[in-house]
Amino acid sequence: MSASVNPTVRRRRLGAELRRLRELKGMTAEEVAGRLMVSQSKISRLENGRRSISQRDVRDLCDVYEVADERVRAGLMEMARESRQRGWWHEFGDIPYSVYIGLEAEASSIRAYESSFVPGLLQTREYAAAVVAGTFPDYDAQAVQRRVEVRMKRQLRIDDENEDRLGSLWVVIDEAVLRREVGSRAVMADQLCRLLALSERPYINLQVIPFSHGAHPGMSGTFSLMEFPESADSTVVYFEGVTSDLYLEKEADVRRYTNLYDHLRAAALSVADSRSLMHTIAEGFR
């Protein structure tokens, strides 16, 4: 656990505990919503950690679930207070994928598949600026710069000097990621050199699925799997969307995408052969 409180993770843990208390009581979300005269969707959002939880919400739910132990109630109230604090990313304004950033900041390992561009944790500043400007044409220069700065700060998690460094990062990318000219040829050459340098770190594995492989399971879309150091925090499958993101946490979903990721790794070149291909393409951009 990092030294600072992560509100995203606190919301997830508190939501999971509230769901456990509801299930112990044998109540459905609809029944709880009826007792509190709120919508069922509110109860669902509280339990899945997608909504801030007020101390009043916790108090009311504890009353419904007949939680008598004052230590338990106090612990839940403290989690609610912490869940409403602001993460470092809030200083950059309204970031659409702030939930993901909060999860990424706490993850112990990440497995990512990308078919369009280099994952944010591995991007150079120039490449990141070109990606943001290209994918968000309505952004002004200030908005682009804000998104780039967030991306650069996220990369502290893969810094060798960071005590809270990400334990493991495994990335599988399609060959198209390496060949698509983003920014300029010089930007691409620098970006591929950075990938080569990062791939030498023992906790970062980078594989490429070559065009010659043909069709593969990743053609249906990109995704990430995030695992956490605390056993109470379930693995999350993440999909980035244009207007909203999707998070899957059910065991069956996690198992399905874990299996899919294994297929992608099997379809990709080895780490050594991937490095060789990246080097060849980088030379071409030079």
Q: Which domains does the chain have, with CATH numbers?
A: 7-85 (1.10.260.40), 89-285 (3.30.870)
DSSP summary character for residue 49: T
* CB atoms inside a 10 Å sphere around CB 179: 12
Among 51, 103, 53, 100, CA closest to 80: 53
Q: Which two tokens stand for residue 227?
A: 């695992």
Which distant-in-sequence residues (6+ apart) come within 8 Å of 137 by Cβ? none
> Rounded to an integer, what distance in angstroms lies between the CA atom of residue 281 and that of residue 43?
51
CA 238 from centroid of its chain's CA atoms: 6
**pLDDT 10s digits, 238-271:** 898 766 678 888 889 999 999 999 999 999 999 9
Q: What is the largest CA-CA distance in the chain?
A: 68
At 88, the amino acid letter reads W
Tell me the average confidence (pLDDT) per consecutive run of 10 residues in the chain, 286 residues long.
60 82 89 88 81 84 89 84 71 71 88 95 96 92 92 91 88 97 96 96 96 93 90 83 76 94 96 96 92
> Rounded to an integer, what distance in angstroms lies between the CA atom of residue 286 and that of residue 113?
26
Q: Which two tokens stand for residue 196?
A: 């080569």
pTM over 0.85: no
* CB atoms inside a 10 Å sphere around CB 268: 24
